[in-house]
Amino acid sequence: MGGRGELLVRLEASGHRNIRATHDATIELATDDDITPRATCVIGVGARVVDGSPFPIAGPLRVTLEAGGVSDVIDAIANPWLKSTDAGLVLRRGPARLDDTLATGASIGADGLDRALVEVLRDPAQMLTVSVHRARARADGRAQLVLGRVRAQGAKGGRKAAVLAAELDAAGVVVADDAGARRLARGDGDAARAALAAGGRVLVLGTDELLGRCVPELLDGVNALHLESFGMPATVAAAAFLGGAAPVTMLPHVSNAAEASRALGAAALGSRVVFSTSASRGSRVIAALPAEVLAGVAVLDADTPSERAVRGEPARLGHALDGARGSVVLALPAGSTGGADDRPLPPTLLGALVEEGVAPATIAAALGRQPGWSRNGAYRAVTNPGGE
């Protein structure tokens, strides 16, 4: 599915007698000339860039390794936040975008490489050539939606501006989520939907604190989806991935399923709900969520939201937590907190309004116009304030 596109960077490295290539999570090109047998992820030493630059690149990659007439291919996702090549370059199967990470989501670790290639690389006289090409699509065929928050007045240079440029280069269609980002748009909603349906990469840019207004329309009918974000914290990205105009309730960190249920009960009706929880307990918290909202849940790694984001697809939500450490962020769609039928209006609030001379019919009419409330539900809440 990936298909090879333009060459972005080419590197060379030398073989080494201590190359083992048995690490299951990473592949490293070391800049040092010597390694010990403990460096099980290293596949080449004295690594150097000979063509192009890895600073910065974004989007799906096809990485070709070749030495001594033997080759292998790795699919991965570029890390536009790569900071340094001084200590080497790493391809990671996991989502961690560290300073030395060239790409994440790699299709294999060092232990998955062709063993004939590994045998060649144990010869110090052999030269390894690493060619990094842009891939036309993800290897798994999943559509890619990238949300980015940018400055309304434009980037002033530096690392953030370079990352934005890389994301613009990697995207097939660029959509503005608000007027402030319109100058960067390159396509409209129809083009974006067509690109996503074909497994392409769409970049949605906005300048507001909370993005995502156009997301529901773009994702209508899209089932297989990969999400990335930049320029915003994980909690904001999670709410943005759900999209829409509903308000957002940001809840405190919850420790278990019971706390999650209580937090949901305290959230504003009709709002998108975002909270963090321990990655180790995330599966149990997800299992406790109402079944009817699971198809809309977004799960993000709190530290690296760009690579662990999952929207919908209930069967994959638990998988999204595999290997996660620390905290994850969960976002639930509007309506997750239920409606008036299961959340009666507090009697003290109703009593205070009545004491001020507000007629019950007026209270019910006003309540029925609020997000998450129906007219019938509002009437029941007012006439039966205790919910009995």
213-225 per-position pLDDT tens digit: 888 888 777 777 7
CA distances from 119 to 16, 27, 46 (A): 10, 16, 18
The mean pLDDT value for 295-313 works out to 57
Domain coordinates of the chain in residue numbers?
4-135, 144-224, 233-338, 347-383
The CATH code that applies to domain 233-338 is: 3.30.950.10
pLDDT at 359 exceeding the cut of 90: no
* Six-digit token string for 280: 């180790």
Tokens 């959340």 appear where?
Answer: 343
What sign does the dihedral 289-293-295-299 (CA atoms) show? negative
Q: Please, which residues bridge with residue 48 across strands? A: 12
For residue 202, what are the β-bridge partners? 145, 173
Cα distances (angstroms) measured from residue 194 to each of 60, 103, 201, 245, 309: 19, 27, 10, 23, 22
Cβ neighbours of residue 362 closer than 8 Å, sequence gap 6 or more: none
CA distance 6 to 104: 19
Strand 248-250 to 272-278 pairing: parallel
Q: Which CATH architecture has domain 4-135?
A: Sandwich (2.60)
Average pLDDT of 333-349?
55
Q: Tokens in use for 318?
A: 């638990």
Q: Is-contact 90 28, C-beta < 8 A? A: yes
Predicted pLDDT of residue 73 = 98
Least confident of 46-50, 62-66, 250-254, 320-324: 320-324
Phi, psi of 186 (to 5 degrees): -145, 70
Mean pLDDT over 256-277 rounds to: 74
Of 99-113, 174-188, 347-361, 369-383, the range with the lowest mean pLDDT is 369-383
pLDDT band at 282 (very low <50, low <70, confident <90, very high): confident
**149: Cα within 13 Å, side-chain hemisphere:** 15
pTM value?
A: 0.75
pLDDT surpassing 90 at residue 62: yes
Q: Using 50, 70 and 90 to split pLDDT, how confident is the model at 314?
A: very low
Of 32-41, 158-167, 297-306, 307-316, the range with the highest mean pLDDT is 32-41
Nearby residues of 287 by Cβ (< 8 Å), 6 or more positions away:
257
Q: What is the pLDDT of residue 324?
A: 62
Residue 344's pLDDT band, with cuts at 50, 70 and 90, is low
Instruction: Check residues 355 and 155 and name the one with the higher pLDDT.
Output: 355
* CB distance 338 to 269 below 8 Å: yes
What residues have CB less than 8 Å from 315, skipping those under 6 apart? Answer: none
SS3 for 231? Answer: coil
Q: Give Cβ neighbours of residue 31 (< 8 Å, ≥ 6 apart).
A: 45, 46, 47, 48, 85, 86, 87, 88
Report how far residue 138's alpha carbon sits from residue 160's, in angstroms, rounded to the nearest whole number: 24
Residue 235, pLDDT > 70, answer yes
76, two tokens: 């991965």
* Residue 101, beta-bridge partner list: 90
| Residue 334 pLDDT grade (very low, low, confident, very high; cuts 50, 70, 90) | low
Tell me the C-alpha distance between 143 and 219, whole Å. 10
The arithmetic mean of pLDDT across residues 304-312, rounded, is 50
What does the radius of gyration of the chain's CA atoms come to, in whole angstroms?
25
Q: Is 321 helix (H, G, I), strand (E, B) or coil?
A: helix
Per the structure block, which two tokens stand in for 11? Answer: 């590197």
Residue 197 has pLDDT above 80, yes or no: yes
Write down the pLDDT at residue 65.
98
When the pLDDT of each residue in the chain is averaged and rounded to a whole number, the result is: 82
Between CA 4 and CA 20 the distance in angstroms is 28
